[in-house]
Chain A
Amino acid sequence: QQQVKQSPQSLIVQKGGISIINCAYENTAFDYFPWYQQFPGKGPALLIAIRPDVSEKKEGRFTISFNKSAKQFSLHIMDSQPGDSATYFCAASGVIQGAQKLVFGQGTRLTINP
């Protein structure tokens, strides 16, 4: 009920291509869906986030698509660059059984080939 499932585990994309990472959740109490980006040796950092009252949010080359009925959301990176190579985590947040929760997906290691 609290799980967030993320796929793929790893992804290789050519420079200039589109990177797509997918996540699915089960608990409808989740109401905030952030994506975090992590470079080697660093902690995760917030990249972009969405609330379920909108179906899409775009910030520069990064777009979140949200499908509330399917309980799925995805991150699209347009014109992928070598500097985008990192591990990406989706997450879902909400009040679950009276407690504030932020649940992360398993992570996707993205490699952009030059």
Chain B
Amino acid sequence: EAQVTQNPRYLITVTGKKLTVTCSQNMNHEYMSWYRQDPGLGLRQIYYSMNVEVTDKGDVPEGYKVSRKEKRNFPLILESPSPNQTSLYFCASSLYPWGRRIMNTEAFFGQGTRLTVV
């Protein structure tokens, strides 16, 4: 089954304690991205990756890091989490970057990780 898998689904942590949220896709997609979802703000892009070893900032990258050492994995790292990073996080992947003039640019999303930083 084609899917994007995030772990953990729920996480409560304390301010300053480093954490990693994992994301893995089994569709051989090149393009992966992280979003955070907050009430009234929709989904905002944190970081994205066009391919292995190629990453770039999205709209709200402060306080986050990513890496893309393998095509299937795209972990999100919070080196020193703060309460304003409490949010619902989604990893997404697609075969091609969004916006290219071809039909198949659907983004597949994981189930989400609800993070609480106290």
Chain A residues at the B interface, C-beta cutoff of 8 Å: 2, 4, 6, 9, 30-32, 34, 36, 41-46, 49, 51, 89, 93-95, 99-107
Contacts and interface: CB of A to CB of B under 8 A. Distances in A.
A45 B45 contact: no
Question: What are the 7 A-B residue pairs with the smallest beta carbon separation, nearest first?
Answer: A43-B109, A100-B97, A102-B98, A93-B99, A93-B98, A104-B43, A104-B42
B21 to A, nearest CB: 13
A41 B40 CA distance: 17
A52 B91 CA distance: 27
Interface of B: 4, 31, 33, 35, 40-45, 48, 50, 56, 59, 90, 92, 97-101, 105-112
Nearest to B101: A31
Given A2-B59, A100-B48, A101-B99, A44 B105 contact: no
Contacts of A43: 4, 90, 92, 109-112
A43 to B, nearest CB: 3
B45 A102 contact: yes
Contact of B98 (A41, A42, A51, A101): A101
Interface centre among A43, A89, A106, A107 (most CB of B within 10 A): A43
B105 A107 contact: no
B43 A99 contact: no
Given A93-B98, A101-B99, A104-B42, A41 B111 contact: yes
A108 to B, nearest CB: 10
Contacts of A42: 111-112
A49 B107 CA distance: 11
Interface centre among B43, B106, B107 (most CB of A within 10 A): B43
